[in-house]
A and B are shown apart, each in its own frame.
Chain A
Amino acid sequence: MDMQALWLTLRLALTTTAVLLLIALPVAWWIASGTGAARALVQAVVALPLVLPPTVLGFYLLVALGPLTAPGRLIIRLLGHPLAFSFSGLVVGSVLYSLPFAVQPLVAGFKAVDRSYLESAAGLGVRPAGVFFSIALPLAKNSLIAAAILTFTHTVGEFGVVLMLGGNIPGATRTLSIALYDQVQDFNYAAANRTALVLLVVSIAALLLIYGRSGERDSDSLGVR
């Protein structure tokens, strides 16, 4: 078992989940609170990683973050090294790649919150931020949990983006799925078996968490239909 790869994978998945929720919450809230062309466009862009081969996303990021583009050069000048082939680069790639897995459940959750609760709160003079944190977010709690679990597991299992953007540097960018690929390439099937089992268990545990929670039937009482 490649413990270094396991630790790196968990660190990447946790960081990605935290960063992504910070981005996804306002984006999802904005998408859910209206209609229009701008929202449709953002939703389409957010959903893109669902249909795009991960290697395509990884390739574009590799180019965009490298010395060939102005933003890439700026990053290199600020950090002293390119984002590609580093842990931070992997976080950037994972955040983009898992975007739909965080945003879509949250949009569904926020849309399911009865508008009249939000209006009632505004009618009591409560500021929009207060309405969001005290009413909308608690009522969409199940969606928030689902978004976090999906983002985490999706990041644990990603391969294409990591390989393209991060390469295969032990301790820096070699995640479990890359380690598994290496082990198979080396005909080390015993090790590959163990790595694959860990990834399988993580995925099943995550899905059990999501479906177990949705079975609690507390969604009705929370005003989420």
Chain B
Amino acid sequence: MTPAGDAKLAVQFNHCQGNLDLDVRFALEQPWTVLFGPSGSGKTTVLRSIAGFVRPATGRIVAFDKKVMLDSAAKVYVRPHLRPVRSAAQGARLFPHMTVGANVVFGSGWHSKPADTNQLVDEVLALFGLRAMADRMPRDLSGGESQKAAVARAVVSAVTGGKTILLLDEPFSGLDLRVRDELLSRLKDWLAVWKMPVLSVTHDVAEAFQLGAEVIKLADGKVVEQGPVEVVLAEERRRLLGQLREPTSQKRDVGHPI
């Protein structure tokens, strides 16, 4: 059975990968949802199952209540490029033979509207602070810039792809905190205008709070809790603040002060 309601995305599946037994069930109802969990908890596999790059043994994944992407009982498996989903994988994967601008426009679905596409791409490049780099090749970009460009590419593809869901796997994990926080809030506001549902993966407590998003907490391949970030990650927040109050001699870079 799939979680009922007015879900942007309803996910239920079982899948065994290596030592990890995934058994997840959740639904996305908020504009931005964060999949939170430690390394190895199965976050990326969940995202890849939704995108279609992993085919779970059993389960059912439905977007917008009616677009069935996976239904093992009915032997339905929709190939990745046909799913109403756009994704940016972990670590930048810019196509090395295209400029940054060509990369960002690559997945655009507005083939018949070149003027609108150019305007949108320009807007997104500005949003990510990449306007000056549009004509550069990916090899001339820093790691952080590449990562931003890869997310920008997925964003353009998502807003031009009709009714879609945007999946971001650790989108800004390599960026320095100030840049990341600023970009996250700008991106969140911008995507809200487009009414674009987002599911992003993170293991960073501060990032989840920064987004003020709905959080799905994953541990050992199971969903342990889902709800507002203040509730689900209260324990993590308390621990983080405790660390920050420790004597300065032991102070480590634990991320963003909340």
Contacts and interface: CB of A to CB of B under 8 A. Distances in A.
Nearest to B139: A221
Interface stretch (A30-38, A114-122, A209-217): A114-122
Interface string A96-135: 0000000000000000000011011111111110010011
13 contacts: A117-B96, A119-B89, A120-B89, A120-B150, A121-B106, A122-B81, A123-B85, A124-B87, A125-B83, A125-B109, A126-B81, A126-B107, A221-B139
A116 B89 CA distance: 9
Contacts of B154: 123-124
A18 interface: no
A222 interface: yes
A117 B95 contact: yes
Contact of B161 (A125, A127, A128, A134): A125
Contacts of A123: 51, 53, 80, 85-89, 154, 167
Contacts of B96: 117, 139, 221-223
Contacts, number: 68
B106 A117 contact: no
A120 B93 contact: yes
How many B residues touch the partner, as a band? 20 to 34
Contacts of A119: 53, 80, 89, 93
Contacts of B80: 119, 122-123
Interface of A: 116-117, 119-128, 131, 134-135, 138-139, 221-223
Interface of B: 51-53, 79-81, 83, 85-89, 93, 95-97, 106-107, 109, 137, 139, 150, 153-154, 157, 161, 164, 167
Contact of A125 (B81, B88, B93): B81
Nearest to A223: B96
Contacts of A124: 86-87, 106-107, 153-154, 157
A122 B95 CA distance: 13
A-B residue pairs, 8 tightest by C-beta: A124-B107, A123-B87, A120-B93, A124-B157, A122-B80, A223-B96, A122-B81, A138-B97
